[in-house]
Amino acid sequence: SQQGEEDPQALSIQEGENATMNCSYKTSINNLQWYRQNSGRGLVHLILIRSNEREKHSGRLRVTLDTSKKSSSLLITASRAADTASYFCATEDDKIIFGKGTRLHILP
């Protein structure tokens, strides 16, 4: 089955900087989703991008999808301390499959 794999595994940046996380997957997809998980909390859906879309925005979030490279990126602009969390990409086959996530830490 296919699986999203995030890169980097961990990322620390200064507050106010932009954070970019990448996701690669193996086979064709209908859509790709990004989720955030704060420590000890449930997964929260951020953005869903469909296979026929190349870019999508939501507030400070920007997601791109390159189906030829089987990759996606999540950009968080003007990062804040509250953005500290783990971020997961997920693809869907007969069920949603999550990658291992990127742990993002925003430094004050």
Query: 19 vs 49, which CB is nearer to other proteins?
Result: 49
Q: How far apart are CA 23 and CA 44, in angstroms?
A: 17
* Contact set with other proteins (CB under 8 A): 30-31, 33, 35, 37, 39-45, 48, 90, 95-96, 98
Query: 3 vs 37, which CB is nearer to other proteins?
Result: 37
Q: How many angstroms separate the Cα of 3 from the Cα of each of 86, 87, 100, 108?
A: 17, 15, 9, 33
Q: How far is the CB of 48 from other proteins (least distance, A)?
A: 5
Q: How far is the CB of 99 from other proteins (least distance, A)?
A: 12
Neighbours of 11 (CB within 10 A): 17
